[in-house]
Each structure stands twice: as structure tokens, then as C-alpha cells.
Amino acid sequence: MPYRAPLDDVRFLLDHVSGYGSIAATDRFAEASRETAEAILGEAARLCQDVLNPLQRVGDTDPARLENGIVRTPKGFADGYRAIAEGGWIGMSADPEFGGMGLPVTLAMIVNEMMSSACLAIQLGPLMSQGQIEALEHHASDEIRALYLPKLISGEWSGTMNLTEPQAGSDVGALRTRAEPNGDGTYAITGQKIYISWGDNDFTENVCHLVLARLPDGVPGTKGISLFLVPKRIPDAESNPGERNALRVVSLEHKMGLHGSPTAVMSYEGATGWLIGPEHGGMAAMFTMMNNARVGVATQGIGVAEAALQHAVAYAMDRKQGRAGGSGAIIEHADVRRMLAEMKAQVFAARAIELICAGAIDMATATGSADWDARAALLTPIAKAFGTDTGIEVASLGIQVHGGMGFIEETGAAQYLRDVRVTAIYEGTNGIQAMDLVGRKLRDGGEAAYALIDEICTRSEAARSREPELANAVWNAAETLRETTEWLVSRTDPEDRNAGAVPYLRAFALVLGGWAHLAAALHGTPAQARLARFYILRMLPAHAGLLAHVREGAADLLALSPEDIAA
């Protein structure tokens, strides 16, 4: 089914929710005017609709494969990647010194979302490069940046992230990959990594791997880990890809979805690598890339949700069934309309959170403000978890709207769910995101959370004269969120926080979604206003049960023994 970029909703959120006007008013982003943004997003929409979307089914039915040690990508993927690279889309927010556009992250995230809607399997490759670009900008030496950044930004070379090993998943500190000094400033990297997205391809000149490994004097755990840049081909004196490095793709994973994206098992066999950042400082450097990827993964979930929604709406408008009134199509049935309304309202909420988070990142970059930085840090796990949960839930509902035909692969509805399911797992599972939210992100005594809740309450109070019912509902939800945040901050046992971490994150996201929908009720089109009423009165109330769950603490949960659960 053809994909149509949701530019109307994006425009509304930029103008009325994410504060893009403030971003464009800064010296840092003065050239990224609203008019410039409109032109950029329009061009990106055409790329996604006309070039990338036709690759969606191709990647699923003609998956990436490994032949005699060479990764073969699906037909058309090389041309699709080339269109992304030649358009400058990989380096949208990268440093202009090295060929980037220097645009706000907000615009890059919108483009990433549209690419994810069009074809998630191919979008994942540029996303990995974007994360590596940011990590090298912040942590690499001048020599490394001068050599690698122009190639990564142009798309001539691609980047990956190598963390996971067979025995070391979320517990990264258990890794066994070794780094031995070669005596010339380089290191010999030896070990195996798994789940490496776009670990290789057949269309870029070089593939640059960021690899976590332990030096001989590295202490156990995460404090002893260092980060290394290990290229597939070692650059020669003219900065061209030279001799083949001592690394290889062992196999490609057989996955539930994302068949067009090669996910590799990588073997490093004394491969030459260069240290990025200080010795034993690998986690700090890698987290720069991971935090970039977490916001990026949020856009992947939302992008797939948008595509699944459009797919389901088109089917529901066309499929005749039963005695529904009007056109006779199943969209006339109340329950089908409920499902579609839930899908659309949740996508709007998740997109709003994504853009509020991206806006905070941009304002932190432009102003150097610690308050904006704290808001961005607070919102990152919420955006990642809620965005990807939205992708899964909306794709699942999309199958339900299709009925039996949703279970048939030819309709394409199932692919959305298969492709998006992993997004709740990689770049830190959504449970880990939630524990980060109630742990590290509340260590400031809840200051960043309270500041955001205060803003929601202030805007809700201002809306009471025009939309009293909706404004009161959002205000009350925000106050309940505040009370529960106070309860979490007061806990001395971390298990009390962790036991309710996931429902707390979900409730926070629902309240933020209510705030965005309230803006739509005030300033949106009649259709947006009606959808806002549906969300605030029917979906937002779920926050109360979620926050009640949070305040129960951990005692009853931990009282359930493993034997109780296994019985």
C-alpha cells in the first residue's frame, strides 16, 4: 500500500507542541527557519513515498543473505541507500565542518520517522551511522574525526555498534572481547559480537565498527571497558579503503522480522582498531551513540505505527462486511472505529513525545542550559519505550482490523508487527528504559520531572476557559503523576521503584500525550479536536490504574517466589 507522509500532524506539533519556533530563534539554528524546515520535510516525504516505500515488501520477501562470506542485500536496497546518502539525509544534524548540515535533531528525527514508515529495514542502516557520527564528534581524536566523519556523513562509509556477545547482553560488563596494544598506537581486537545491525553490506566502500573491548589492565565490569573503531578495510595514506582487516561476518541471524536488514554475528581475529575516548572510558563514549540511537529507535516505532495505521484505515474503508450503515465498509462498525481511533490517537501522542524530546535536545545544544539537558535526559527513556510500545500495539491492532486477512502475509499487515517487535528490545529493553527513568533520572530529587509536570499543569489551567472538561482531566492526571513521583523519590529501597517502573513510564507518557492532545483541542483542526477528546476522555484515564500499581511498591511482587510463578 502506498505510504503518505503525515506532514499535517508534523506541522501542527512543530507549531503548537514541540516549540520549534524557539529552536529556530537560537543563534545555533537560525538558518533552520520554519520555511526551511517545510522545504526539507517536503523533499524527505517524496524520497520516502516514491523511493523507499516500494522496498518495504521487497526486503521481506527477498531477505539479506550471506554468500561465501559476502553479504548480499535485497534488490533495490543499494539504490535506496544511495538516494538517502546523496540527499545528505545521513548527516542532517552532523557538524558542517565535516560535511553535515548542522540542522536540529528535531528535523532529523522527523525524517527518520518517515523513512521508518516507508521501509524500516533500510532505515536502520543510516540510523547506525548517525549514532556513530555523534560518538566520534564527541569522543574521537582530531585525526580520527578528520578521516572518518566526512566518509560517514556522505554515506560512502557506514557505521555500526558492537556491544552484545553471546554471554553479555544487557549485562555489557560481562563481555570477553580483548584489546591488546600493538605498540604503534593501534590495538589488536579479538572476540565475537552478535546482533550487529547492518554488520556488513554490498554497497558502501567501508563498514566502520565501534567495538567495546577490554584492555589487559581493564578491571572487571563496565568500568574496565574501552571503545575502539575497527574498520572493515584499513584506510591507506590517501584515506581510501585499503587492506582487509582481520574481521569477518560469521553468519546472519534468522529473525522474526526486518529480513532486509542484515543482522550479523561478527568475529574479530586480531583486527586493527583505534581507541575512541580514554582508556577504560568506553561506556561513556558508547552511551553517546546509544542515547542517539534510543531517540532514533523511538522514531522507528512511531514510523511503523503510522504505516500500520494507514494500512489498516485503507483496508477498513474498502472492506464491506456485515450491516454497518453509511458505506457498508467495516470502518462503520463501532469497534473497528474504536480500534482505528486508538491507533491514531496513540500515534499522535507518541510523535508529540518524540518531538518534545528532540526539541529539548536541540535547546540544550543551542543554549548549553543544564535544565534543557535534564529535560532531554528525562524524556529519552519515555520516548524510546512509549514510541516502540506504540509501534507494537498499533501494528497488532492493525492486524485485528484486517481480521483473518491480517494473519495472511500477502496483505502486508503482519510484516509491520514482525519488523517493529525488536524495537522494544534493542538499545536497552523497555524495562531497562523504565528503570533508568525511576533510577538515574529521578536522582535529582525529581526536579526535572516536577518542572515538566508544572508546565503541563500551567498550560492546562490556561486552557480551562476554552476546554474546561478536557483541561481539568489533563490537570488532574498531571497532579496524580506528581504525587506518584513524590512517592517514588521518597523510596529508599530501589526495588520499590523498579517494581513499578514500567507502569510509571507508561503513565508519564499518557499524561504527556494528554498535554499534546489538549493543544490539538485548542488549536487543531476539527478532526484533531475530536480525536483529542477521544484520547483525553477514553485513553488518558488508564494513567490512574498504572500509578496505583506503582504505589504498591515491591513487597507483594517479591513475595511471589520463582516456584510460585513456575507452579
Per-residue three-class SS string for 213-238: EECCCCCCCHHHEEEEEEECEEECCC
| 441, 378 Cβ separation under 8 angstroms | yes
Last residue of a domain, one of 265, 281, 297: 281
Alpha carbon distances (Å) from 355 to 19, 184, 505: 9, 45, 17
* Grid coordinates given for 147: 578521516
18-33 average pLDDT score: 97
pLDDT at residue 307, as a whole number: 98
Indicate the pTM of the whole model: 0.96
Q: What is the per-residue pLDDT across 460-502, written as a single tens digit (0 to 9) for each?
A: 999 999 999 999 999 999 999 999 999 999 999 999 999 999 9
Mean pLDDT of 115-139: 96
CATH of the domain at 263: 2.40.110.20
- The predicted pLDDT at position 93 comes to 96
Work out the percent of the chain whose per-residue pLDDT is above 70.
100
Domain final residue pick, 281, 303, 322? 281
Residue 284: per-residue pLDDT: 84
523 in a domain, yes or no? yes
What's the pLDDT tens digit per position in 525-555?
A: 999 999 999 999 999 999 999 999 999 999 9
pLDDT of residue 293: 82
Confidence at 170, pLDDT banded by 50, 70, 90: confident
Residue 394 has pLDDT above 80, yes or no: yes
pLDDT of amino acid 322: 78
In this predicted structure, the answer to whether residue 157 has a pLDDT above a threshold of 90 is yes
- DSSP 8-state symbol, 49: I
* Listed residues 281, 308, 339: the one ending a domain: 281
Q: Is the pLDDT of residue 395 over 90?
A: yes
Whether pLDDT at 559 is above 80:
yes
Please indicate, yes or no, if residue 43 is contained in any of the structural domains. no
- Domain assignment present for residue 143? The answer is no
CA–CA distances in Å: residue 526 to residues 460, 474, 521, 529: 20, 20, 8, 5
Of residues 327 and 191, the one with the higher pLDDT is: 191
**Which pLDDT does position 438 carry in this prediction?**
98
State the total domains in the chain: 2
pLDDT tops 70 at residue 1:
no
Residue 23 lies in a domain: no
Decide if 214 is inside a domain.
yes
| pLDDT-derived band at 326, boundaries 50, 70, 90 | confident
Distance CA 410, CA 415 (A): 9
Q: Which residue range(s) make up the domain with 501?
A: 433-566
Give the per-residue pLDDT at 324.
67
Secondary structure, 3-state, 398-435: HHHHHHHHHHCHHHCHHHHHHHHHHHHCCCCCHHHHHH
Evaluate whether residue 359 is within a structural domain. Answer: no
Q: How many CB atoms lie within 10 A of CB 68?
A: 5
The residue with cell 462486511 is 321
Q: How far is CA 150 from CA 40, 102, 285, in A?
A: 21, 13, 20
Please give the Cα distance from 64 to 122 (Å, whole number): 11
- Which residues are marked as active site? 427
The answer to whether 430 and 389 are in contact (CB under 8 A) is yes
Instruction: With respect to residue 69, please indicate whether it lies within any of the assigned structural domains.
Output: no
Whether residue 304 is contained in a domain is answered as no
Indicate the average pLDDT of the chain.
96
pLDDT at residue number 287: 77
